[in-house]
Amino acid sequence: MKKQLIFYHGLIFCALLSVLPAIGQQKRSAVKNDSNTPLHLLQPDYKTPYRIPEKNVVKTDLDRILTYLEGVTPAVLENKSTGKEVLSNVDFNFETQIKRGDFRLGSYEWGVTYAAMLATAEITGDKRYENYVNQRFSFLAENYPYFRKLYTDYGSNIDSQIRQIVNPKALDDAGAVCAAMIKATRRNPDLKLRPLIDNYMNFIMYQEYRLYDGTFARKRPQLNTIWLDDMYMSIPALVQMGKLTGENKYSDEAVKQINSFSEKMFVAEKGLFRHGWVESMKEHPSFFWARANGWALLALTEALDALPESHPQKDKVLELFKSHISGLLPLQSGDGFWHQLLDRNDSYPETSATAIYVYCIAHAINKGWLDATAYGSAALLGWNAVSTKINAQGQVEGTCVGTGMAFDPAFYCYRPVSPYAAHGYGTVIMAGAEIINLLEKQHPKMNDNTIQFYSNDQTTSTPIFSINDQSRPDEIVSGSTRKNKDAPVVFVIGDSTAKNGRGKGDGGQWGWGSFFQQFLDTTRISVENHALGGRSSRTFYTEGLWDKVLPGIKKGDIVFIQFGHNDGGPLNTGRARASLKGTGENSETVIMERTGGPEEVFTFGHYLRIYIRQAKAIGAVPVVLSHTPGNSWEGGKMLRNSDTYGGWSKEVAEQEGVYFIDMNDIVARKCESLGQEKTNELYKDRVHTSYEGAMLNCKSLIEGIQNVPELTLNKYIK
């Protein structure tokens, strides 16, 4: 019987093997292609949107939340028994309470919401968000003296919301609202919030329970327990108070708490914080609750924003922030969310934590702490996920309710979610606002169906494209950025003496091509500087850079060709950019150290002829420029190199019947008239020029152009 069972099981197994390929094929065939779209461009069936969000759509989502909150968070006092509105402090008694809405005006969750609305107002310019905060803070400030009297008269019998404001008993009661009030005060001192701020700060600094080493702690669920949440409930208020008052004690206390929390709770090998730490435990079970990690990351973000630049430990805080981000990023799920327990995919996706991470990543990119290329797409993916949780009413769904601390996974995995969990609102608003900021400051583009970030706008409509980024020193734009199809363009090809680095004066070094257009009437002609540092006549061609410039050149355009500085040196080792000397058609085949393969190397003159002849074939006007002189002197004269690259440039121009401008000689003569000491101010090293040196080179080129009256470029000189 046993053998028979084995036999039958074997048959079933074989049958399954024969069916599985068909099942797989059926699944793979689920996406039909009824058009002529290439298969690699078919859109995947994403669970959540995969796209670059539009700023106006993000703002519409935020406005929907704001409209909902305006209606469900009244800033009104009422009598608890009668429900009648209390209009005068004369009518205050122990039954006076803040009118119940969906959320509490003085809770830590609403501290996050106030801060988020202030940031949204600043980013979008929409005063409606700031008005929401000002109205509620004005309400609390105006009534605060009477709230204090109620507490004096009736003690703990008064409304719990009022009691929480007047007599905070935990960091939850104080920190987040205090931080938001300080931010509001800096924007609008007329709010008169200082009595509330001082009351909150007095509790944080001097009354909150601490361990023996000064770390903020709680007495639940075990004696001397540290909750990760308390990083956010204290540190932002401390650094904001330091910024408000200029007193170092607040910043120092904030950094002390960051160090204390991280020493006990940051698990370096995971790049995550454990939720809780108990002093009496010899071992500390680690449960990486998502929102608590969000509070920690948000606290670090606030600290980096508000700590003085001179603070000796600011770099250490930034290092911790980056380590935390590095731990979080791989845990983002394919649909954009992070899970309730970060390292447990069997726990549910959670909205508020995801929103916090989106905000912190986007904010860090906008502040320059993180690289947009590496982290930008994660922020957008996270926002796309979060946006699906904003319902038509403006409520935020999928947010875990308030959560204690535990040492087993079930507690976290089975915490309920609710649109009335207040933690979702401020976090989503701040995430959306920072995404708008990200879209304004950064340059995302879909490339091969994926979100990529670039250093400048990519205007191509091609679904798959190579990088054309003129702001990077190792890239040039393919074709032309011609502003007027009927106006000629001056194209510049050459080395760093024409365009140094990004062409933005890095290190104080400038190429003349960055300023040449200032001498022309740019309403009738434009300049495109395609020169690139480190290139020779040979490598500008062999690296394909000329092939990128050539398609943009049209009949009537002018092409400046200037090489020579980098054409010496080794043929096949190191940078291997040298051309053969002279202007002949001789060549030499070498084995390239970099690739191990052969390359036929030609003379300097041969490569110049390529540029000249191909430009002439289009109908453009090539102009050969000799290279600018280096800052080398002998006997009171500047060395010209007129027997080598300068002379060879002239020789090729004459052979090909094109214009030649001897910049080498013109610049040298101007420098000699200034003298060697003054000329030293025009150079940053032996070859590269300062701003003043680049301008002198431009003026020399203009002089050279004017010495060739038949050159049509003359009519465009200012």
Q: Judge if 378 and 277 occupy the same domain.
A: no
Which H helix or E strand runs over 477? none
Average pLDDT over residues 125-135: 98
> What pLDDT does 5 receive?
43
**214 within domain boundaries:** yes
Task: Provide the pLDDT confidence category of residue 481 given band limits of 50, 70 and 90.
Answer: low
Which of 283, 312, 341 is the C-terminal boundary of a domain? 312
Which of 208, 235, 263 is the C-terminal boundary of a domain? 208
pLDDT reading at 643 higher than 50: yes
Q: Judge if 50 and 197 occupy the same domain.
A: no
Q: Judge if 87 and 189 occupy the same domain.
A: yes
Contact 205, 253 (CB under 8 A): yes
Whole-angstrom Cα Rg for the chain: 34
Mean of per-residue pLDDT scores for the chain? 92
Q: What is the CB neighbour count within 10 angstroms for residue 322?
A: 15
Task: Provide the pLDDT confidence category of residue 476 given band limits of 50, 70 and 90.
Answer: low
pLDDT reading at 470 higher than 90: no
Task: Provide the pLDDT confidence category of residue 456 given band limits of 50, 70 and 90.
Answer: confident
> What pLDDT does 349 receive?
98
Q: Which residues contact 418 (CB under 8 A, 6 or more apart)?
A: 399, 401
pLDDT reading at 393 higher than 50: yes
> What pLDDT does 589 receive?
96
Q: For Cα atoms 235, 239, 241, give the angle at the middle one, nearest 5 degrees.
A: 115
Count of domains for the chain? 4
Q: Judge if 409 and 296 occupy the same domain.
A: no
Q: Extract the tokens encoding 40.
A: 């690699």
> What pLDDT does 484 receive?
76
> What pLDDT does 480 receive?
66
Average pLDDT over residues 321-327: 98
Q: Which residues contact 260 (CB under 8 A, 6 or more apart)?
A: 213, 214, 215
Q: In this structure, are strands 489-493 and 558-561 parallel, antiparallel, or unpaired?
A: parallel
Q: Distance between CA atoms of 654 and 605, rounded to whole angstroms?
A: 11
Q: Distance between CA atoms of 694 and 516, rounded to whole angstroms?
A: 9
Q: Judge if 537 and 660 occupy the same domain.
A: yes
Q: Extract the tokens encoding 577.
A: 């950019």
pLDDT tens digit string along 521-577? Answer: 989 999 999 999 999 999 999 999 999 999 999 999 999 999 999 999 999 999 999
Q: Which amino acid is at 502?
A: R
338 beta partners: 350
Residue 389: name the closest of 418, 358, 416, 347 by CA. 418
**476 within domain boundaries:** no
Q: Extract the tokens encoding 234.
A: 């204290």
pLDDT reading at 38 higher than 80: no
Q: Extract the tokens encoding 518.
A: 């200032």
Average pLDDT over residues 109-132: 98
pLDDT tens digit string along 237-268? Answer: 999 999 999 999 999 999 999 999 999 999 99
Q: Distance between CA atoms of 104 and 267, rounded to whole angstroms?
A: 34
User: Does 85 or 26 have the greater pLDDT score?
Assistant: 85
Task: Provide the pLDDT confidence category of residue 25 given band limits of 50, 70 and 90.
Answer: very low
Q: Extract the tokens encoding 562.
A: 């200037």
> What pLDDT does 465 receive?
81
Q: Judge if 643 and 517 occupy the same domain.
A: yes
Q: Judge if 340 and 371 occupy the same domain.
A: yes
Residue 113: name the closest of 122, 100, 104 by CA. 104
Span of 16-20, 136-140, 371-375, 433-437 with lowest mean pLDDT: 16-20
603 beta partners: 580
Task: Provide the pLDDT confidence category of residue 28 given band limits of 50, 70 and 90.
Answer: very low
231 beta partners: none
pLDDT reading at 506 higher than 90: no
Task: Provide the pLDDT confidence category of residue 458 given band limits of 50, 70 and 90.
Answer: confident
> What pLDDT does 162 receive?
95
Question: Longest Cα pair distance anywhere in the chain, in angstroms?
Answer: 110
Collapse the DSSP code of 350 into the 3-class scheme (helix H, G, I; strand E, B; otherwise coil) and give the result. strand
Collapse the DSSP code of 669 into the 3-class scheme (helix H, G, I; strand E, B; otherwise coil) and give the result. helix
Average pLDDT over residues 169-191: 97
Residue 430: name the closest of 197, 233, 180 by CA. 180
Q: Extract the tokens encoding 133.
A: 């905060």
pLDDT tens digit string along 144-161? Answer: 999 999 999 999 899 999
**544 within domain boundaries:** yes
pLDDT reading at 210 higher than 80: yes
Q: Which residues contact 499 (CB under 8 A, 6 or more apart)?
A: 492, 511, 513, 514, 529, 530, 531, 532, 533
Q: Which amino acid is at 48?
A: T
**34 within domain boundaries:** no
Q: Distance between CA atoms of 353 and 529, rounded to whole angstroms?
A: 47
Task: Provide the pLDDT confidence category of residue 466 given band limits of 50, 70 and 90.
Answer: confident
Contact 495, 536 (CB under 8 A): yes
**651 within domain boundaries:** yes
Q: Extract the tokens encoding 187.
A: 């924007």
**478 within domain boundaries:** no
Per the rule left: phi > 0, alpha: psi between -120 and 50, beta: everything else, 135 is alpha
> What pLDDT does 9 receive?
45
109 beta partners: none
Span of 445-454, 501-510, 607-616 with lowest mean pLDDT: 501-510
Q: State the pTM of this model.
A: 0.69
pLDDT reading at 45 higher than 90: no
Q: Read off φ and ψ for residue 273, nearest 5 degrees.
A: -95, 135
pLDDT reading at 693 higher than 90: yes
Residues comprising the chain, all counted: 718
Query: What's 553's domain CATH number?
Result: 3.40.50.1110
pLDDT reading at 128 higher than 60: yes
pLDDT reading at 56 higher than 80: yes
Instruction: Measure CA of the first residue to CA of the last residue in the chain; give whole Å.
Output: 103
Q: Judge if 387 and 448 occupy the same domain.
A: yes
pLDDT reading at 118 higher than 90: yes
The percent of residues in the chain predicted with pLDDT above 70, rounded, is 93
Residue 491: name the closest of 501, 478, 480 by CA. 480
Task: Provide the pLDDT confidence category of residue 384 given band limits of 50, 70 and 90.
Answer: very high
Q: Distance between CA atoms of 294 and 284, rounded to whole angstroms?
A: 20
> What pLDDT does 27 receive?
41
User: Where in the sequence is the domain holding 193, given as residue range(s)?
Assistant: 75-208
User: Does 638 or 473 have the greater pLDDT score?
Assistant: 638
Contact 594, 530 (CB under 8 A): no
Contact 235, 302 (CB under 8 A): yes
Collapse the DSSP code of 683 into the 3-class scheme (helix H, G, I; strand E, B; otherwise coil) and give the result. strand
Which H helix or E strand runs over 645? helix 645-656
Q: Any idea of the CA torsion for 309, 312, 313, 315, to the nearest 10 degrees?
A: 60
Query: What's 351's domain CATH number?
Result: 1.50.10.10
**325 within domain boundaries:** no
**427 within domain boundaries:** yes
Q: Judge if 680 and 544 occupy the same domain.
A: yes
Q: Judge if 694 and 669 occupy the same domain.
A: yes
Q: Judge if 299 and 340 occupy the same domain.
A: no
Q: Judge if 302 and 411 occupy the same domain.
A: no
Q: Extract the tokens encoding 263.
A: 């020493």
Q: Distance between CA atoms of 353 and 334, rounded to whole angstroms?
A: 16
pLDDT reading at 477 higher than 90: no
Contact 420, 102 (CB under 8 A): yes
The percent of residues in the chain predicted with pLDDT above 90, rounded, is 85
